[in-house]
Amino acid sequence: MASGGGFVTWVRTQPPPSAEEHPFTLPVVREVFARGGIGLDPGVTFLVGDNGSGKSTLLEALAVVFGMNLEGGSRNFRFSTRTERSALAEHLVARWRKRPRADFFLRAESFYNVATQVERLGVSGYGGPLHERSHGESFLDLALNRFWPDGLYLLDEPEAALSVRGCLALLRRIHDLREQRCQFVVATHSPILLALPGALILQIDEDGALSPTGYDEAEPVRLTRAFLAAPDRLMRELLAD
Ligand SMILES: Nc1ncnc2c1ncn2[C@@H]1O[C@H](COP(=O)(O)OP(=O)(O)O)[C@@H](O)[C@H]1O
Ligand SMILES: [Mg+2]
């Protein structure tokens, strides 16, 4: 039964700056402002959309609004290796229904830095030294050992580190944690992760439209299906002059 933590199901926008600058010019960001906010499932929300559609921009802003570290980690992680900030976060307000007891922002692209920080802080509970494991192993260790019940978790393309088996293991973990009152927002291209029953799939279209989508209509699923059904034909089309 899908339930989830339900910590935040609505993040409202405040008026954007008039400046025509990134990220306020991104179609999906304009869409979020036009709607007055972004709605999240109490359990699991997937964000899908092509490369560059703005998934990470949205997720980073949510992470900041939720009090997490922009580069990944929990609220106790205050390191930064880049000097970036989320301008979007300054225009978003979370409507908390209750507060999570744990949180984590897991980004494949900065996971190495998070692992370094875990070692530097000497934090235990990660299933062993993360740098002594492969990228995928340590990523899974983290989800299995550091994600607790009653938590709020943001994951940015977690499949990047994972095998198909690894994706299935992560899906199972997300499913179990949702039953233990956790909430997730996950940017993903994985047709495997998207198969989690009862999740909300928000798809970002080319024009920035952000709409709930069924599993079969989600772009990663449609394209992967079309490819696997006829790889030879797709290769002929793709590689034709
Ligand atoms: N600092 C920046 N200045 C201008 N454009 C940026 C900046 N950071 C990201 N972008 C652009 O914003 C778009 C959305 O990026 P991102 O949110 O990372 O996309 P996604 O995660 O969906 O692949 C991309 O086209 C990216 O090039
Ligand atoms: Mg991204």
Per-residue pLDDT of the chain (241 residues; tens, 9 = 90+): 578 999 999 999 998 777 688 899 999 999 999 999 999 999 999 999 999 999 999 999 999 999 986 655 555 555 454 446 788 999 999 999 999 999 999 886 656 566 666 666 665 555 566 666 777 888 888 888 889 999 999 999 999 889 999 999 999 999 999 999 999 999 999 999 999 999 999 999 999 999 999 999 999 999 999 999 999 999 999 999 8
Residue ranges per structural domain of the chain: 8-239
Indicate the SS3 state at residue 155.
strand
Indicate the SS3 state at residue 88.
helix
Q: Whose CA is nearest to atom 17 of ligand 1?
A: 54
What pLDDT, on a 0 to 100 scale, did the predictor assign at position 143?
A: 83
The Cα–Cα gap between 149 and 176 comes to 9
Residue among 24, 56, 71 whose CB has most ligand 1 atoms within 8 A, to mutate: 56
**What is the reported pTM?**
0.89
The Cα–Cα gap between 76 and 69 comes to 8
What pLDDT, on a 0 to 100 scale, did the predictor assign at position 119?
A: 63
Q: Does the beta carbon of 53 lie inside 6 Å of ligand 1?
A: yes
What pLDDT, on a 0 to 100 scale, did the predictor assign at position 122?
A: 61
Indicate the SS3 state at residue 106.
strand
The Cα–Cα gap between 230 and 235 comes to 9
Nearest to 196 by CA among 215, 220, 222: 215
Q: Does the beta carbon of 125 lie inside 6 Å of ligand 1?
A: no
Could you name the CATH architecture of 8-239?
3-Layer(aba) Sandwich (3.40)
Nearest ligand (C-alpha, residue 51): 1
Indicate the SS3 state at residue 236.
helix
Residue among 50, 57, 156 whose CB has most ligand 1 atoms within 8 A, to mutate: 57
Q: Which atom of ligand 1 is nearest to the CA of 53?
A: 22
Q: Which atom of ligand 1 is nearest to the CA of 58?
A: 17
